[in-house]
Amino acid sequence: MFSAGFYIGALLIIALTNLLYKWRYPRCNGVLPPGSMGWPLFGETFQFFSPNPTCDIPPFVKDRMQRFGPIFKTSLVGRPVIVSTDADLNYFIFQQEGQLFQSWYPDTFTEVFESLKKMLPEVEQTASRNLKLWSSLSSIDIKEATAEMIFGLTAKKLISYDAETSPENLRENFKAFIQGLISFPVDIPGTAYHKCLQGRKRAMTMMKNMLQERREKPRKVQGDFFDYVLEELRREDTILTEAIALDLMFVLLFASFETTSLALTLATKFLSDHPLVLKELTEEHEEIVKRRENPESGLTWNEYKSMKFTFQVINETVRLANIVPAIFRKAIREIKFKGYTIPAGWAVMVCPPAVHLDATRYKDPLDFNPWRWQGTDTHGASRNFMAFGGGMRFCVGTEFTKVQMAVFLHCLVTKYRLKAIEGGEILRTPGLQFPKGFHVQIYEKK
């Protein structure tokens, strides 16, 4: 006779095997793409987040592309995911967007934030002022310094925030938020995820209080994005709610400074490693100044638009930067594609690095070579270029980023020289990071 313990043990093993089987072979009305679901609960999350110090396709994706082909399944942070490195599936995902829902921003967004023509002098003055200050120091961390600079500018435009007069340090809250943004979701004190949630909470409370204050004491002149949002909230036919408005504000502040400062830091690093690129870039900008009647007059919109080689440098930088390493969607209904079935409810992950570093699309894909963009359109998205997304949800900040980068590079190469001192190494987890920053010395040109 077997003991009760034996039966309980046997039942437990059967139940666990059943669970494991169901986890490994999820139910599907067709053929799921190949791939592994990893371990129950954790899936392949740890492999996905494992750090990698190169510009190449993340090893997680590269290994699986070799083993399973361009479309494969996995499980990340408890969710079943289909990863796409297939150009046709990427295109399909981006194009389907508008069918199901549409992204929405108030018209005033365009007015305030993207009235970049009007902002150009301000961006230039900010870059000039900061560079002058940095050149008086023995060394400066370009990553931290550009993030501070861009945050200052956008927070002022959006919510008239001034770090020097505000009692709360808004950027610290954003920093905490960003550091835990792509982390394992365990909400206990001490984890990056917990700090991320706390940072977001504090920043949201602060913005909520500001909104309340403005409601009670409306300002005489309408100036920043917050004022426009308040006006929109007062309209009867608006679909905007206070919660959406605060979320929108948060997303815009977050999206604006971290991405652009990473791109600028990487561009600076590439320029310090590639003297021929720096030379051609400097010539383009010196030429702009030479053509002016008054060399001290500020940049014009036409001058900005004429910076051909600069746009090539920017595109090449963001191609290699892969600042957004994964673009997520959710399949709202079952999708059949190339013989595979993506079940409803599964996440779909488009993997831009697999496109940007594909040797059949970009010769010697790991080389920093801005000349490869010569004669091509450097302003749109395509099947081969999705650093700013694609389809309906194309990044609304693309032009803003380009203005920031082009103007900063203009001020840098026309007046200053740069010497790398320390850091500059990258790490991807899988988001791009500069763990030691990038410390440089900036000298004024004689």
The nearer residue to ligand HEM, 70 or 389, going by C-beta atoms, is: 389
| Residue 355 to residue 342: CA distance in whole angstroms | 21
| Residue 428 to residue 367: CA distance in whole angstroms | 18
The nearer residue to ligand HEM, 263 or 277, going by C-beta atoms, is: 263
The nearer residue to ligand HEM, 130 or 256, going by C-beta atoms, is: 256
Smallest gap, in angstroms, from Cβ of residue 356 to ligand HEM? 11
Q: What is the largest CA-CA distance in the chain?
A: 103
Q: Are 321 and 385 in contact (CB under 8 A)?
A: no
The nearer residue to ligand HEM, 341 or 400, going by C-beta atoms, is: 400
Q: Are 123 and 153 in contact (CB under 8 A)?
A: yes
Q: Is 252 one of the binding residues for ligand HEM (CB under 6 A)?
A: yes
Q: Is 255 one of the binding residues for ligand HEM (CB under 6 A)?
A: yes
Q: Is 246 one of the binding residues for ligand HEM (CB under 6 A)?
A: no
| Residue 143 to residue 127: CA distance in whole angstroms | 14
Helix (H, G, I), strand (E, B) or coil at 241: coil
Which stretch in 83-91, 131-139, 160-168, 389-397 sits in contact with ligand HEM by CB under 6 A? 389-397
Which stretch in 9-17, 127-135, 269-277, 386-394 sits in contact with ligand HEM by CB under 6 A? 386-394
Smallest gap, in angstroms, from Cβ of residue 326 to ligand HEM? 9
Q: Is 388 one of the binding residues for ligand HEM (CB under 6 A)?
A: yes
Smallest gap, in angstroms, from Cβ of residue 149 to ligand HEM? 13
Q: Name residues whose C-beta falls within 8 Å of residue 28's C-beta, 6 or more positions apart in sequence.
A: 341, 343
- Options 71, 387, 409, 442; binder of ligand HEM; rule CB under 6 A: 387
Which stretch in 65-73, 140-148, 164-172, 256-264 sits in contact with ligand HEM by CB under 6 A? 256-264
- Scored b (16 or more CB within 10 A) or e, 267-285 reads bbbbbbebeebbebbbebb
Q: Is 378 one of the binding residues for ligand HEM (CB under 6 A)?
A: no
Q: Is 396 one of the binding residues for ligand HEM (CB under 6 A)?
A: yes
| Residue 320 to residue 368: CA distance in whole angstroms | 8
Q: What are phi and psi of 423, to 5 degrees?
A: 80, -155
Q: Is 401 one of the binding residues for ligand HEM (CB under 6 A)?
A: yes
Q: Are 224 and 90 in contact (CB under 8 A)?
A: no
Helix (H, G, I), strand (E, B) or coil at 135: helix
- Options 244, 289, 331, 395; binder of ligand HEM; rule CB under 6 A: 395
Structure tokens at 441: 């010395």
Q: Site residues (CB under 6 A) for ligand HEM?
A: 103, 113, 251-252, 255-256, 259-260, 263, 318, 323-324, 327, 387-389, 393, 395-397, 400-401
